[in-house]
């Protein structure tokens, strides 16, 4: 699974079933998906899912650090 990245629905409220995961919808925060699987490749090519860049920002940790000062 070298092509695994984080993907989320392109529009809020868009319910896209995941056949390999008991047809649960893709959550808004995204899923790790491999575009080598034809189903996810088609969703990506059609613009139904978009790549989500992983965030390194930790707001809770920043708030805690600010409170310690």
- Per-residue pLDDT band for 54 (boundaries 50, 70, 90) equals confident
Averaged pLDDT for residues 46-53: 95
13-16: which pairs have CB atoms within 8 A and are 24 or more residues apart? 14/48, 16/43, 16/48, 16/49
Q: Per-residue pLDDT averaged across 45-61, rounded? A: 79
Listed in sequence order, the residues at least 6 apart from 19 whose beta carbon sits closer than 8 Å to its beta carbon are 39
13-47 pLDDT tens trace: 999 999 999 999 999 999 999 999 999 999 999 99
The more confidently predicted of residues 4 and 55 is: 4
Domain ranges across the chain: 4-68
């Amino acid at each position: 699974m070298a092509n695994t990245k984080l993907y989320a629905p392109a529009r809020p409220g868009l319910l896209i079933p995941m056949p390999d995961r008991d047809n649960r919808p893709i959550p808004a925060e995204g899923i790790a998906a491999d575009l080598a699987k034809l189903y996810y490749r088609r969703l990506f090519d059609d613009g139904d899912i978009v790549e989500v860049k992983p965030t390194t920002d930790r707001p809770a940790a920043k708030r805690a650090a600010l409170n310690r000062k």
